[in-house]
Structure 1
Amino acid sequence: MTLLTTELPKPEPHRAVLLWRRFARNRAALLGLVIFVVVLIMAATAGLIEPTDPLRRAGVPLTKPFVDWATPLGTDQLGRDILASLFYGARISLLVGVLATLLSIGIGVVIGAVSGYFGGWIDDVLMRTTEAFQTIPNFVLLLALVAILGSSIEYITVAIAIVSWTAPARMVRAEFMSLRGREFVDAARNLGVSNTAIIFREILPNALPPIVVYASVIMALSILLESALAFLGLGDPNHASWGNMIGQGRAVLRSDWYCAAIPGTAIILTVLSFSLLGEGLNDALNPRQKK
């Protein structure tokens, strides 16, 4: 007598596991993740590995790297420790990048969602406003805002968010216009669900994947914009940032190139990590798009 055995179907992996597997297939994205983690560690350990104030003199001015182990990466023209400034600069760059991204995405999502969902004259007014912002070059508008608001790190973050919300707004609007006529939206309306609930509970979760991917672009642009302002002398002098380091290092660029090259390399690697992370997120959240 033989027993019939049937194999039970294997349970499908959790969605988070599937996303990680798709992300991990992209080795460049894994490299970007490693670089990003290193920058995070630098920001988190600023003040622990290098306990000195990065703005205070730590040694003889313009000490070359790897000459004095008290200042392994050398000192700038004011005798400040470049390694300490590099760690604290990572904290400032990530702070500006994260906060500016959250603010710009928040503004863009609200404006794009309302515009794409309601349409009509509301869409016309909001999109004309968006186009008005887009007619002004981002950096020119940023310079004007910093001149008006001030050059503290808080105002710089707000100014970067103000010049960065237009692209997310148009992206969210396009997603909402394609989703507002779907069956699940009509079903929610027939059940008496409010417009606010339909926008934020029904449609927005389905429109988020491209926004999450684009957030990595805004993070990179925010860091570059803050660095550009600091390079021009419009950054916050009360904080050590990579842009301030480059701006001050350009005065001795020919004789002591490392003062500008070290923070410049940090900016390049950080921006590259966000670009690679965005590519990996795109593969994970939109697997069919790559095909």
Structure 2
Amino acid sequence: MTADTNTDLDTAQLPPPAEKSARALARARKRRSVARFWREYRTHRSGLWGLAGLILIALIAICAPLLVGADSQSVTDAPGGALEAPSGEFPLGTDQFGRSVLALLVWGARVSLTVGLLAAFLCVAIGTVVGIVAGHFRGWYSTVLMRVTDWFLVMPTLVLAIALATVMSRSIWTVILAIGVTTWPTTARLVRAQTLAVESRPYIERARALGGGHRHIMLRHVLPNVMPLVLAQTTLVISGAILTEATLAFLGLGDPTITSWGGMLQDAREAGAVSAGDWWYLAPPGLAIALVALAFTLCGRAIEAVLNPKLGVAR
């Protein structure tokens, strides 16, 4: 094979110059959008505080084996006595088995963050699909989907989650599923309203006139325009998911083999920490739940303010 033939083959494998330049322009536009978003986000002090708190908690959860040891959850190898008060060896005291409450708190961050993130992803995914489909298709499609959404919306979310967690096996995946399938209606309502607003714009009519099908319009035009709303809603849903997981664990419906902040509160109640005044067993997991929920809420409010400046959220 000659050199000219090799050159022709290499040239044939390269993308056309127009396609290459279009991709480069798209990447540059995305980079500018991300940079512009970060510049706006940095102007919200509360959002920065929330983001810093989340990064710190995430690092603690990831480095849990290095910080407190992999055997700190063991009941048989507990290093201390039952319900010891805070001391130099145990800064947050011990539980009824003699385990360090600080170590349990660090390990519990993993479960609480995992449940919050995965349950929120499931919730937002279901709500986004239902909202876009209900907003794009009119007639009986939208009517049926919205009636189902209204039924879930008027039913107490916690009651539905408790019912699902009761009839299914007690595991972390049951908790995630119970939270995800019961908290999506609010997201669906918001996404449907945004979808209706997007589809009333002229470029949607032009896309239909040029032969764009339902899939093309929903994926290429509607979904990118509702994603900012979905992103802001996700950060707000995560805090609610973490609180719901703590509630289910406190009611004894969580996985008893793992350590979570809600499970710590349940164990403290069963150990009589409330009546005995053992505050070091009750306060740390409760404060951790509140701080994480607050951090996600601050981030969500900041993101919402950046994506929709008309809201005028305080900085």
User: Is 2:34 the counterpart of 1:16?
Assistant: yes
User: Is 2:72 the counterpart of 1:50?
Assistant: no
What residue in structure 1 maps to residue 81 of structure 2? 60
What residue in structure 2 maps to residue 9 of structure 1? none
The letter of the residue matching 2:247 is A
In the TM superposition, residue 236 of structure 1 has moved relative to its aligned partner by 0.8
In the TM superposition, residue 138 of structure 1 has moved relative to its aligned partner by 0.5
Which runs of 5 or more structure 2 residues have no equivalent in the other structure?
A: 1-28
What residue in structure 2 maps to residue 135 of structure 1? 154
Within the candidate set 275, 280, 293, 1:258 is matched to 280
User: Is 2:167 the counterpart of 1:167?
Assistant: no
In the TM superposition, residue 276 of structure 1 has moved relative to its aligned partner by 0.5
Alignment size in residue pairs: 279
What residue in structure 1 maps to residue 291 of structure 2? 269
The letter of the residue matching 1:60 is G
The letter of the residue matching 1:44 is I
Which runs of 5 or more structure 1 residues have no equivalent in the other structure?
A: 1-11
Q: CA RMSD in A?
A: 1.7
In the TM superposition, residue 135 of structure 1 has moved relative to its aligned partner by 2.2
How far, CA to CA, are the matches of 2:94 and 2:233 in structure 1? 37
How far, CA to CA, are the matches of 2:189 and 2:37 in structure 1? 26
What residue in structure 1 maps to residue 15 of structure 2? none
What residue in structure 2 maps to residue 285 of structure 1? 307
- Percent identity between the aligned chains? 38
In the TM superposition, residue 165 of structure 1 has moved relative to its aligned partner by 0.7
How far, CA to CA, are the matches of 1:167 and 1:59 in structure 2? 46
8 A contact 1:67–1:74 mirrored in 2: no
What residue in structure 2 maps to residue 189 of structure 1? 208
In the TM superposition, residue 255 of structure 1 has moved relative to its aligned partner by 2.7
How far, CA to CA, are the matches of 1:52 and 1:161 in structure 2? 30
How far, CA to CA, are the matches of 2:164 and 2:261 in structure 1? 21
Q: TM-score, normalised by structure 1?
A: 0.91
How far, CA to CA, are the matches of 2:85 and 2:219 in structure 1? 55
Q: TM-score, normalised by structure 2?
A: 0.85
In the TM superposition, residue 67 of structure 1 has moved relative to its aligned partner by 3.3
Please identify which structure carries the higher helix content: 2
How far, CA to CA, are the matches of 1:274 and 1:192 in structure 2? 42
Could you say what secondary structure the match of 1:116 adopts?
helix
Moved over 3 A (4+): none
